[in-house]
Structure 1
Amino acid sequence: MTEIPVDEDVRGYIDAIPAAHRPLFDRLHGLIHRARPDVTVVMSYKMPTYKAGGRRVLLAVWKHGISVYGWRKDDDGGFVERHPRLKTSTGTIQLRPDDAAAISDEEFLDLFRGALAG
């Protein structure tokens, strides 16, 4: 699979991710690309934003892991129903590395396909 091209600002953000969270970020980054090979990534709201068609998904580092923003509540592949404790009241999915380790790539792909459909 080809690498998603990123600009200097996105590369700087990714390079600054703490080592403890980098494997999870890299996994999600790659799965987004698998879900939508035509995705582009730019900085928006000071975080990497993956855009395809008129849709977007944002990934951000937080103290304990990686947050996912922009997913479609009406088409998340059942992700939140299966993992309700990962959703915050603001509509964010907060993933700690241990939480994500128990979630299959297919579940994440369904989430990203739904978020970026259209």
Structure 2
Amino acid sequence: MDAAVQEYIDAIEPGSRVLFDRVDGLVRAAFPQVEVVFSYKMPTYRVGPKGLHVAAWKHGISLYGWNGEADGGLAARFPKATSGRGTLKITPDMGTQISDAELTALIRGALAS
């Protein structure tokens, strides 16, 4: 893993780290060949030309680059989480309401060819 990515991950606050680690694990389970790079100052999961940016903030995590048509229904279930510009903000509380299957659907929608 890129040193900048590891440094970023190591600095994530505990409140957001659990959710970040959950998404990381689901990405790696769905795409064992995934490459994690540092892009736009955040970890970016790459599978071929496709990418999913995952950033940790005080509010939780944000996902950038996901496919709104293949998001596992997350945007419809949590309309306040989406900015309408390809950003999905997931708070730790919201994360407890989202199943692994829903997150995996979003991940597959973003990274599948």
TM-score range, shorter chain: over 0.9
How high is the sequence identity, in percent, across the aligned residues? 50
Whichever residue aligns with residue 65 of structure 2, its letter is G
Specify the alignment match of 2:13 in structure 1. 18
Number of residue pairs the alignment of both structures matches: 113
The runs of 4+ residues in structure 1 deviating greater than 6 Å are none
For residues 47-66 of structure 1, what are the structure 2 equivalents within 5 Å?
A: 47-66=42-61
Larger helix percent: 2
Gaps of 5+ in 1: 1-5
Specify the alignment match of 2:93 in structure 1. 98
Using structure 2 for the length normalisation, give the TM-score: 0.94
Gaps of 5+ in 2: none
Whichever residue aligns with residue 38 of structure 1, its letter is Q
What is the aligned counterpart of 2:31 among 36, 44, 47? 36
1:76 aligned to 2:74? no
Specify the alignment match of 2:40 in structure 1. 45
Do 1:34 and 1:109's aligned partners in 2 also have CA atoms closer than 8 Å?
no
Using structure 1 for the length normalisation, give the TM-score: 0.90
- For 1:61 and 1:19, locate their aligned partners in 2 and report how far apart those are by CA, in whole Å: 10
Q: Once superposed, what is the RMSD of the aligned Cα atoms?
A: 1.1
